[in-house]
């Protein structure tokens, strides 16, 4: 039987705890006294064979010892954190700040963080999904069956035909979210997508989407337009010029395409906007009832809207970048100047 002298055990533990120089040593002490094979656990195991009065007394002593050691460990843990913080602060104070910091966050990362913050403020959750997808989630669950002409609109890069591919759109995450969660829901996600595209100033075979999906009992295009209006003004200022066109997307009905006046030519027409004066910034619309039903969601009760931002174009517009190849290239020709907010 373990000799239970609470004061002696507490003093012994206290000495060891005070000598612990780091969290690892503190963890070892915790296991010694409070672990599954520790001193306190052994005391509690032996209580069952004692008479009732002795059992009660010994149980109270063991409980008090346990709480005391927990408190001592907690206090020492806080001391170690403070000490580590002081050391880090001291090291920071001794740094030679005459040496400038080199590097900055990639414009894509900066833009994703801006968008994430805006949508979090609007009550959205952040999600993610796989880049290697199946035909089911990239196409079929988005109302694109095998013989649908919409498949010809995307030059898909297959890993193993016909089932495994590199996702062509972040809408595949939407399909997974609808299948995995019950409404109501509001989510956004950002990620790389892939298509067999000819690379030029405005297109790339690797690019990025920012997908959003909302499913509620009542929703309309007015809610979608309000979301986009807020988003454009927050990202590009109150003077931003936007238009909405009817667009066809198999996963939504009706579908719309928000365009922004070209920042490079102010609507006059240039090589970046292909001479039309506008840059297509997203695809969106009211979620097709077929998409909801395939996910097991009652389309008579629930409805929603979805949107996919062409993230690279949002970045290019934000930082006045005129060639999409710059975003994924190794050139250091573009450098960030915080006071000018340009690249």
CB 40, CB 20: distance < 8 Å: no
Phi, psi of 214 (to 5 degrees): -130, 130
* Domain match, 144 and 259 both: yes
Rg from Cα positions in the chain:
30
* Domain match, 58 and 175 both: no
CA distance 76 to 23: 9
* Domain match, 177 and 290 both: yes
* Domain match, 132 and 270 both: yes
* Domain match, 49 and 140 both: no
CA distance 69 to 82: 20
Residue matched to tokens 């196409």: 139
End-of-domain residue from the set 60, 93, 126: 93
CATH number of domain containing 172: 3.30.930.10
End-of-domain residue from the set 64, 93, 122: 93
* Domain match, 65 and 204 both: no
End-of-domain residue from the set 41, 68, 93: 93
Residue 337: its pLDDT value, please?
42
Over the stretch 54-103, which tens digit does the pLDDT of each residue have?
778 888 888 888 888 888 888 888 887 766 556 555 555 555 555 556 66
H or E segment to which residue 134 belongs: strand 132-134
Total domains present in the chain:
2
CA distance 17 to 26: 7
* Domain match, 53 and 118 both: no
Residue matched to tokens 């062509």: 168
Residue 336: its pLDDT value, please?
46
Compute the mean pLDDT over every residue in the chain, rounded to the nearest whole number: 84
Residue 310, beta-bridge partner list:
209
Nearest to residue 327, comparing CAs of 190, 197, 201? 201
* Domain match, 118 and 76 both: no
Residue 199: its pLDDT value, please?
83
Residue 258, beta-bridge partner list:
244
Residue matched to tokens 């629930």: 302
Nearest to residue 302, comparing CAs of 197, 203, 214, 212? 214
Nearest to residue 291, comparing CAs of 137, 164, 165? 137
Average pLDDT over residues 27-39: 82
Over the stretch 160-186, which tens digit does the pLDDT of each residue have?
888 899 999 999 999 999 999 989 999
What domain range includes position 150? 107-328
Strand 242-247, strand 206-216: pairing: unpaired
* Domain match, 301 and 169 both: yes
């Amino acid at each position: 039987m373990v000799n239970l002298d609470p004061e002696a055990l507490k003093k012994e533990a206290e000495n060891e705890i005070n000598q612990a120089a780091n969290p690892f040593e503190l963890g070892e002490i915790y296991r010694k006294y409070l672990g599954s094979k520790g001193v306190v656990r052994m005391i509690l195991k032996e209580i069952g064979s004692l008479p009732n009065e002795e059992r009660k007394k010994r149980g109270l002593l063991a409980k008090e010892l346990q709480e005391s050691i927990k408190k001592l460990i907690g206090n020492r843990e806080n001391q170690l954190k403070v000490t580590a913080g002081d050391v880090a602060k001291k090291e920071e104070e001794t740094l030679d700040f005459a040496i400038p910091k080199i590097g900055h966050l990639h414009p894509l990362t900066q833009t994703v963080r801006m968008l994430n913050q805006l949508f979090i403020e609007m009550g959205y959750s952040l999600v993610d999904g796989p880049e290697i997808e199946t035909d089911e989630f990239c196409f079929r669950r988005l109302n694109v069956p095998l013989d649908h002409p919409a498949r010809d609109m995307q030059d898909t890069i297959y890993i193993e035909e016909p089932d495994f591919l590199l996702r062509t759109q972040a809408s595949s995450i939407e399909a997974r979210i609808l299948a995995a969660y019950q409404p109501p829901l509001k989510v956004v996600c950002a990620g790389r997508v892939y298509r067999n595209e000819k690379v030029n100033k405005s297109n790339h075979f690797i690019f990025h989407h920012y997908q959003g999906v909302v499913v509620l009992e009542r929703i309309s295009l007015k809610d979608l337009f309000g979301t986009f209006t807020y988003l454009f003004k927050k990202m590009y200022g109150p003077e931003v010029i936007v238009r909405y066109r009817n667009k066809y997307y198999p996963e939504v009905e009706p579908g719309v395409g928000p365009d922004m006046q070209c920042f490079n030519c102010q609507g006059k027409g240039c090589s970046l906007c292909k001479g039309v004066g506008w840059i297509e910034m997203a695809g969106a619309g009211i979620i097709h009832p077929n998409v909801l039903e395939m996910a097991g969601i009652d389309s008579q009760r629930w409805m929603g809207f979805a949107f996919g931002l062409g993230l690279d174009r949002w970045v290019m517009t934000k930082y006045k970048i005129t060639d999409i190849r710059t975003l994924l290239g190794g050139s250091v020709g573009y450098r960030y100047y915080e006071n000018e907010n340009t690249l």
